[in-house]
A and B are shown apart, each in its own frame.
Chain A
Amino acid sequence: MGEIESGVKKQHRFTDFLYWNMFVALPIMTACTAIFKESPVWMVVYIIICIFLVAVIYRFYCTHCPHYVQGAKTTKCMFFWGMPKFFDSRPGPLSLFEKTMSFAAPVIIALIPLYWLILQPGLLAVYILSVAVLVATMRRNECSRCIYFHCPVNRVSEDIKVREQFHGGANVP
C-alpha cells in the first residue's frame, strides 16, 4: 500500500481513490436525494456550490499536501486522481487564512443540506450516519499515517514525524 517501515503512507493507489470517493459519495448522495425530493433546481445549485467549494479546498488545502507537491502534472491521491494541478504548489505550513478556508469549505458543504434533511428525518439519520462513518474511518485509518504533517488534523505521532523529516521524508518543505 505504498507504506514504508515507519508506518506512514507515502503513495496512494487507484483503489484508495475509489474507496474514499465512495465514502465521500455516501453523504453527498444522501444530501442530493433529500434536496431533489423537495426541489431539483436546488439540488443543481447545491452541486454547483459543492464543486466551487471543492475547488477552494484544492487551492487552499491541497496545494500544501506532499501528494500535490511531489510528482507529475496531475494528482494521484485518495481524493483526486488524474486531476491537473491548476494551482502552484505551496510546500510548508498553512497560514491562518488557509486553515480557515480549508475548515469552512467542508463545513459549508455538510451544513447546507440540513435545511432539506430536517424535513425528512429518515434521510437525516442516514446522512448523520454516513458523515460519522466517513469522519471516524478517515481519522482512524488515514490521519494516523498521513504524510501531510502540516495538516491541522494530522495524527501521526511526533517521533515518527521527526524521524521522517530527518530522513528527508515526505513533507520536508
Chain B
Amino acid sequence: MFPESKPYTVDRIVRTFITLGLLCGLVWLLGYLSDVLIPFAAAFLLAYLMNPLVVLIQKKVPNRAGAVFISLFAVLAAAVIFAWLVIPMIVNEIVHMGRVLSEVVNSSEVAERAVAHLPPDLWEAIKDYAGQKDVQAFFKTENFWKIAEALARKVLPGAWGIISGTAGFITGLVGLTVVGLYLVFLLMDYRKMSRGWKDLLPPAYREGITGFVGDFDSAMSRYFRAQALVASIVGILFALGFLLIGLPMGILLGLFIGLLNMVPYLQVIGLIPAFLLALIHALETGSNLWMVMGLTGLVFVVIQVIQDTLLVPRIMGRVTGLSPAVILLSLSIWGKLLGVFGLLIALPMTCLLLAYYRRFVIQAEPEGAGSGPE
C-alpha cells in the first residue's frame, strides 16, 4: 500500500506538483458540478439502502425490473402509511402544546404555581419565550405543511433558502423527479455496477482500493444496522416511558430521542426538552413539580441502564473498542468536518482509519476476534 522511500528527483517533484494540481482541479470541478452531482449522490445513497430489499424480493420475483418496482412501491406505501399515522399525531400534539403554552402565559393560577416553585428569573424567561409572537403562532398552526415549513425555517435555514429562494418550488419538484429517475436506473443496474467499477481502477491501485471499499462497506452496514436497532428500541422505550408518566408530546419526544441515538451520547440533548415539557406539564396540571421532574429523570435513568447493560453489549458488542473520550473526540472532529453526516459516520470511520493505521503504518497484528456483537 505504501511505496518504499525513493530519492526526491526533479522528475518526482514535478510529478508530485502535477498530481496535487490535478487533485485541486478535481475538487474545484466537484464544487462546480455539485448542483448536478447532489441528486445523483442522494439517489446513490437511497439505492445503496434499498438494494438489500430488492435482492430479497428478487428471490421471489426473478425479474430485476419487477423486483425494483415492487420495492419502490413497498417503500412508498410504508412512507405514506407512516405519514398517515404520524402527521395527525404531530399536529394534535403541537395544537395541545399551544393551548398549554397559552395557559402558561395567561393563567394567573399557573403563574401562582410557577412563582411558588420556580426561581423568578427562570419563570420570567419561560414566560417571555412562551409569549413570543412567532412561538404562539407556530403552536396555533393546524396545517401540517405550515408547521413543517416553520420547523424547516428554524432548523435548516440554509436548506430552506435553497428550497424556497434559489431553486424555487418547480426546480425542487424537477430535482425530486431526477432523483427518482436516477434511483430507478441505479437500482436496475446495481449488481452490474457493483461488479464493474473495479475494472475501471488502475491495476496498481485496484487491490488496495477495493479492499478499503469492501472494509468500509462491511463496517458501515454492521455499525448502522446495530445502531439503528439500538435507536429503535430506545425510541420505543422513551415513547412508552413518557406516555406512562403523562408527559405532553411524549411519543413524539421519545421517538425523537431514539432518532438522536443514531449518534452516541446525542440523546443527552433530549434532556432539555423533556425537562421543559415536564415543567410545563406540572404547571398546567398543578402536579407536584419535583415529582414530575423526578419521574422524567427516572425514565432517562432506567432506559440508560437498560441501554448500557443489556442493549449495547448484546447488539453492538465491543464493535468500536473505543474509549468514551475518544468517541467524543471522534464525534467532534467528524461533526466539524461533515456536519450531521459526519456525526453519523464518525465511529465506523474512526475505527476503520485506526485499523488501517495499525495494519499499514505500525504494522500491528489485527486485533483478536470476539469483539463483535453476540
**A residues neighboring B (CB under 8 Å):** 1, 15, 18-19, 22-23, 26, 29-30, 33, 121-126, 128-130, 133, 137
- Whether the pair A19, B251 counts as a contact (CB closer than 8 A) is no
Residue from A22, A121, A123, A129 in contact with B243 in the complex, judged by beta carbons closer than 8 Å: A123
| Contact across chains for B314 and A126 when beta carbons are under 8 A apart | no
* Contact code string B80-121 (vs A, CB < 8 Å = 1, else 0): 001011101100010000000000000000000000000000
In the complex, besides A18-B310, A33-B243, 17 extra interface pairs with C-beta distance below 8 angstroms are: A15-B314, A19-B310, A19-B314, A23-B233, A26-B236, A30-B240, A33-B244, A121-B84, A121-B85, A121-B88, A125-B86, A125-B251, A125-B255, A126-B254, A129-B232, A129-B235, A130-B236
State whether the Cβ of B306 lies closer than 8 Å to any Cβ in chain A: yes
Known: A19-B310, A26-B237. A122 touches B232 (CB 8 A): no
Pairs A–B under 8 Å by Cβ, sample size 12: A19-B310, A22-B233, A26-B233, A29-B240, A30-B240, A122-B89, A122-B251, A123-B243, A126-B251, A129-B235, A133-B233, A137-B229
A158 nearest CB across to chain B (Å): 15
- Chain A residues whose C-beta falls within 8 Å of the C-beta of B306 in the assembled complex: 22
Top 8 A-B pairs ranked by shortest CB distance?
A: A122-B251, A122-B89, A125-B85, A121-B85, A133-B232, A130-B236, A126-B239, A121-B89
Q: Name A133's closest neighbour in chain B (CB-CB).
A: B232
Q: Which residues of B contact A29 (CB under 8 A)?
A: 240
Q: How far is the CA of A26 from the CA of B84 in the complex (A)?
A: 22
Closest to A136 in B: B229
Question: CA–CA, A130 to B258, complex, Å?
Answer: 12
Q: Which residues of B contact A (CB under 8 A)?
A: 82, 84-86, 88-89, 93, 229, 232-233, 235-237, 239-240, 243-244, 251-252, 254-255, 306, 310, 314, 374
Contact B255 A22 (CB under 8 A): no
Neighbouring B residues of A30 by C-beta, 8 Å: 236, 240
**Distance in Å: Cβ of B311 to nearest Cβ of chain A:** 8
